[in-house]
Structure 1
Amino acid sequence: MLLCAVVASALMFADHRFTRMEEVRAQLTTVVAPIQWLVAVPSDVLTWGSLALSDQRALVEENRRLREQVLHLSHRVQHMSSLTAENVRLRELLGAAARLEADYITAELLSLDADPFTHQMVIDRGRRNGVFVGQPVLDASGLVGQVTAVSAYSSRVLMVADASHALPIQVNRNGLRFVLQGSGDYNALRVMHVPDTADIREGDLLVTSGMAGRFPPGYPVARVTEVVHDPGQPFARVTAEPVARLQRSRHFLLVFPPEPAPVPDDEIWDQELPDQLGADTPVATATEEPD
């Protein structure tokens, strides 16, 4: 230690008195730099690893929250286009019941059906999550399909592009109702039995009509891409493209349609019968025999 102290003192004195020592110090720094780097490697690796893990966890959590937020906002926005047209038709109706907002859960894609002639997929939600057969499935853009089979932890979904799938729709612009059927092509759907004189145009948005109670009304399904009028034929050939990203989406919404409020039978009888018979028409009761 004494020798090292003497040498250090001599070097400091020489560095202070002679300018040539700056070049020697620069060369020594170059020689010692790899040693300093090797000594600092373990500390740098530990610091980088802790930051990477914490950042990764934060990014994964933030990404999950953002995906759910996007789906939630898309679910709320999808009604806007249909509500705008609907408000025009219903503006004169006072006291109309408000549309109930449907509940939903999120789901993620597990696998796609390997059969090239079917368009089905498996998602990671099942009976334990409340999924049921016939439940509508949407992505951030529109209707994807409906659940056809349910197990405890997964479900099978039939997409709207499948040739065996059909659903009632309506033209958002004017409310005309038709049936939309899959064609086996992800990018083409067929609007069935459209009269040649029907007011349907390219670019029209097709939304669920709510008929039969399977799909809630107002969700976008497809957009008309082609309308062909064949002279002499009673029906036009109408082709539409799905608005949902059937081949790219990985996260979905499973919608629980709101149940309509039940109306007691006696109220229906009391309200409808006088309207049908007239205000002055006597109504026979169960204890009276009609003349």
Structure 2
Amino acid sequence: MDTIFTRGPSLNNRLALALALSVLLIFADHKLAAFQSTRVYLNSIMSPLQYLANLPSVVLNFSAQRLTSRQALVAENNRLIDQNLKMRERLQQFDILQAQNDQLRKLLDVPVEPKVHKMVVELMAVDNNPFSQQIVINKGAIDGVYRSQSVLDDRGVVGQVMEVGSTNSRVMLISDVTHAIPVRSVRNNIRFIASGNGSMDELFLEHVPHSVDIQEGDMLMSSGLGKVFPEGYPVAQVQTVVHDEGRPFATVKARPLAQLDRLKYLLLLWPEDAPRQPEGSALRQAAGPQED
């Protein structure tokens, strides 16, 4: 009876045949380059599969690089914001010192400005009371903040601290109707009192006699009287001067130099005679390396 499957060559014969064919193919490929086009074709077919196999690794590496780059950019941006604010504050003082030198004040009569510590803070909230011009910042008593402390932005005086909590503080803007700040003219050193009227873009100079030399465009800076605001920081610029002889005083309006309606980053000042000095760790954490 015939079997269903006929018996083929033995395993030894098959192995010998396979080895002979392999050697022949290797010799033909090495000496004659017979399979070069075939290898190119096979590589072209396998290339998409290789890219697909490497795709998860590429995606993970790209995501990690993007995350690292974003964190580095955020840190660098915060550092540059702090540095820019402190440099703008220093530039304000340089402008005032230059104006003082232009007035030919004797060098020995110029008082030495005390060393001032600085801390960059951020706006947290704005008071929604239409009759109050106040904001909340993100630093408080644990950071050394104290009542009546001076607050600035990159252009000029913003206001003073009115209430201090443990981690935040409330600041009254110079535009508040209950706020007043002693100022003096950069041009001729005449002293005035600048009061708020509830409008963020306008201050009033109180009790200005008609005979006083004041002009539109005069720059007003803090005079240092009252020991609340340090001397020499820009406050406002005179906008209008109206002399009505029917009134006992001239009507003088000034525009605050600080951008009170678009505050974000602010600067707290600690003069040497401040009632409470901030700890060094608090300054480093909030404002970065000191540049005093």
Question: Is this a same-fold pair by TM over 0.5?
Answer: yes
The answer for the alignment partner of 1:121 in structure 2 is 135
Report matched runs for 1:193-204 at 5 Å.
193-204=207-218
Question: In the alignment, does 2:221 pair up with 1:207?
Answer: yes
Shift of the 36–219 alpha-carbon distance from structure 1 to 2, 3 Å rule, reads: same
Deviation by residue 1:69-96 (Cα, 9 ceiling, x = unmatched)? 1122112111122212323446336364
Question: Quick one: distance in 2 between partners of 1:81 and 1:141?
Answer: 12
Shift of the 50–185 alpha-carbon distance from structure 1 to 2, 3 Å rule, reads: same
Matched length: 250
Cα RMSD between the aligned structures? 2.9
Shift of the 25–245 alpha-carbon distance from structure 1 to 2, 3 Å rule, reads: farther
Using the TM superposition, give the Cα deviation of residue 158 of structure 1 relative to its aligned residue in structure 2, in angstroms. 0.5
The answer for the alignment partner of 1:39 in structure 2 is 53
Question: In the alignment, does 2:237 pair up with 1:223?
Answer: yes
Q: Which runs of 5+ in 1 are unaligned?
A: 261-291
Question: Quick one: distance in 2 between partners of 1:15 and 1:243?
Answer: 81
Question: Quick one: distance in 2 between partners of 1:130 and 1:66?
Answer: 24
Question: In the alignment, does 2:80 pair up with 1:50?
Answer: no
The answer for the alignment partner of 1:94 in structure 2 is 108
Q: 1:73 aligns with which of 77, 87, 94?
A: 87
Q: Which runs of 5+ in 2 are unaligned?
A: 1-17, 275-292
TM-score normalised per structure 2: 0.75
Give the secondary-structure state (helix, strand or coil) at the position aligned to 1:100: coil
Give the secondary-structure state (helix, strand or coil) at the position aligned to 1:234: coil
Give the secondary-structure state (helix, strand or coil) at the position aligned to 1:185: coil
Q: 2:256 aligns with which of 229, 237, 242?
A: 242
The residue type paired with residue 138 of structure 1 is L
Question: Quick one: distance in 1 between partners of 2:232 and 2:240?
Answer: 22
Shift of the 44–92 alpha-carbon distance from structure 1 to 2, 3 Å rule, reads: same
The residue type paired with residue 200 of structure 2 is Y
Largest Rg, 1 or 2:
2
Shift of the 100–90 alpha-carbon distance from structure 1 to 2, 3 Å rule, reads: farther
Deviation by residue 1:62-118 (Cα, 9 ceiling, x = unmatched)? 112111111221121111222123234463363644222322222111111122221
The answer for the alignment partner of 2:205 in structure 1 is 191
Using the TM superposition, give the Cα deviation of residue 240 of structure 1 relative to its aligned residue in structure 2, in angstroms. 1.3
Question: Quick one: distance in 1 between partners of 2:123 and 2:83?
Answer: 18
Question: Quick one: distance in 1 between partners of 2:77 and 2:177?
Answer: 35
Report matched runs for 1:1-291 at 5 Å.
35=49, 37-89=51-103, 91-92=105-106, 94=108, 96-259=110-273
Deviation by residue 1:218-238 (Cα, 9 ceiling, x = unmatched)? 100111122222243332221
More deviation, 70-79/222-231: 222-231
The residue type paired with residue 249 of structure 2 is F
Using the TM superposition, give the Cα deviation of residue 179 of structure 1 relative to its aligned residue in structure 2, in angstroms. 0.7
Higher relative contact order (CA 8 A, sep 6+): 2
Shift of the 171–40 alpha-carbon distance from structure 1 to 2, 3 Å rule, reads: same
Shift of the 153–198 alpha-carbon distance from structure 1 to 2, 3 Å rule, reads: same
Shift of the 96–241 alpha-carbon distance from structure 1 to 2, 3 Å rule, reads: closer
TM-score normalised per structure 1: 0.75
The residue type paired with residue 172 of structure 2 is L
Using the TM superposition, give the Cα deviation of residue 183 of structure 1 relative to its aligned residue in structure 2, in angstroms. 1.5
